[in-house]
Amino acid sequence: MADQRIIDFTRSVLDREARTMNLPRDTSDVKAFKVIRADVDGGGEDETCFAAGVPWFFSRGVCGLLDGSRFVELVPFQEGFRDPLVTDIDGDGHLEIVTRAQVGSGAFLKLGIFRYDGSAAVSLFPDTVFHQGLLETKDLDLDGVDELVIWEARWEGGAQWQPQPFTIHVYHAGPDGYRTAFEERLVTRYRPASIVSRTIGMFGIPTTIEHRYSPVAERGRQLESLRAAAQATAFTLLERLDMTDRGNREELSRLYSNSGLVRACIGDEQIAIEHFREAIDLDTELGRPVGRSINQTGIANVHRHAGRTQEAITWYEAALHSLNEISDRDRESDANLELGLALTETGQPEQGLERVRRALLLTSMGNLRQQDWKHYLYLGEAHRALNQYAQAEAAFRMAESATSRSATSEIRWQAKYGLGLVLRASAAARKRRRHSSRRSARSSSSAASTCRRR
């Protein structure tokens, strides 16, 4: 019954807008794209949030809320499919209605966040659009509440599907809605399809909507395949092929890279470095800067795990240099993350913290899900080295929470050990402050007694 009321309401809105905008008026094919029932206003009864419209090109329609006999338009009639979500996005204990739309022929992200109090919907997010935008949520400041992180391409000419510089907008939730916390204008260029997780067509429009495999998961699959196969046989087969063929040389580079990963995992560091170097040479020859960066990071990791931290720093910096012109956000994040820990370990925690924070900002949600424990573990180490115990404790607790889901017992132990060190140091610092206060009080009391005797 509610669904039919949604259809009738949407049809009336579309009829109204069709007349106003002189559009075709056939609204017989109205469909409810998405329907969510939840107690949005906290009144004890569910309201119905919906996106509905005519599935024409660009899916013209509306996004609204049905509360008893009351209809509330959340997003007015416009092109672009609206994807509603009901969640406590700002962590205040109350549900919000989140709407996402691809507008402007699909090239712009438009975000809406609304609070419904039973009578009206109040917007909590600025009315703006983001070119080739991508929305993510991450806890960047360790306060337990995710910030909104939005990537936006800065088109500076040329084809819109070609590499573009991006700006990252970070929004923080407050009592009256979301406000800009900070923005970071990235100088490096990124391929838009790798950011928005869609294939970008001729006019900069996303042509498909699909979740791409995260690079971390992809590397995991490659590693498992390599372990399952006979590595020597793979090299032998490739050597029989035409090595002047670019595709075969790219495959050889990937094989050397994966072999380096396997050798590093089993502690055979010399061969690991040799294979990473072979891959680097091939990637340089073939003009594959992202592949070169991956293998330079691999060599850096081998050096760091062997205790040669300064050599590791040199290789991490080389990996980032390879991404100077055209970057991959996850590869850039991985290199910054490991460089941050190496800097912390060599007595440069301020620079280390800056790198780890940048890694968290850059990483994709798919990459973060695979290694969120590592981001927060490294944040904890940097804050602990800076004697910032409250931030370090929050970071280690987040790392511990993440490791309880899937990480190994060794990683969980690292998070618990770091947390234990912070709690002990924090308690010692409080004890020193108490003793200092008592000494200060006794000194003041003694001085006052001396003055009275005089």
Q: How many helices (H) and strands (E) does the chain have?
A: 13, 14
pLDDT tier at 125, thresholds 50, 70, 90: very high
Q: Give the SS3 label for residue 181.
A: strand
Residue 212: pLDDT over 70: no
Hey, what are 172's tokens? 């923080």
Mean pLDDT over each residue of the chain, to the nearest integer: 82
Q: What pLDDT, in 10s, does the model give residues 30-50?
A: 778 888 999 999 999 999 998
pLDDT tier at 450, thresholds 50, 70, 90: low
Residue 169: pLDDT over 90: yes
Looking at residue 217, what is its pLDDT? 45
CA distance 379 to 399: 9
Contact 59, 81 (CB under 8 A): yes
pLDDT mean over 128-134: 90
Global pTM? 0.79
pLDDT mean over 123-127: 94
Looking at residue 56, what is its pLDDT? 61
**DSSP string computed for 284-353:** HHHT-HHHHHHHHHHHHHHHHHTT-HHHHHHHHHHHHHHTSSEE-HHHHHHHHHHHHHHHHHTT-HHHHH
Q: What pLDDT, in 10s, does the model give residues 320-357?
A: 999 998 889 999 999 999 999 999 999 999 999 999 99
Buried b (16+ CB within 10 A) or exposed e, 113-127: bbbbeeeebeebbee
Residues of the chain with pLDDT > 70, as a percent, come to: 80
Domain ranges for the chain: 1-117, 126-212, 216-370
Instruction: Say which amino acid occupies 61.
Output: G
Burial of 410 (C-beta count, 10 Å sphere; 0-12/13-18/19+): exposed
Phi, psi of 175 (to 5 degrees): -60, -30
Of 83-87, 194-198, 210-214, highest mean pLDDT = 83-87
Which CATH number is correct for 216-370, 2.30.110.10, 2.60.130.10, 1.25.40.10, 3.40.190.10?
1.25.40.10
pLDDT mean over 94-118: 85
Looking at residue 439, what is its pLDDT? 73
Residues of the chain with pLDDT > 90, as a percent, come to: 43
- Sign of the Cα pseudo-torsion (203, 205, 211, 217, in order): positive
Q: What pLDDT, in 10s, does the model give residues 71-100?
A: 888 876 665 556 788 999 988 889 999 988
Instruction: Say which amino acid occupies 110.
Output: K
Contact 303, 339 (CB under 8 A): no
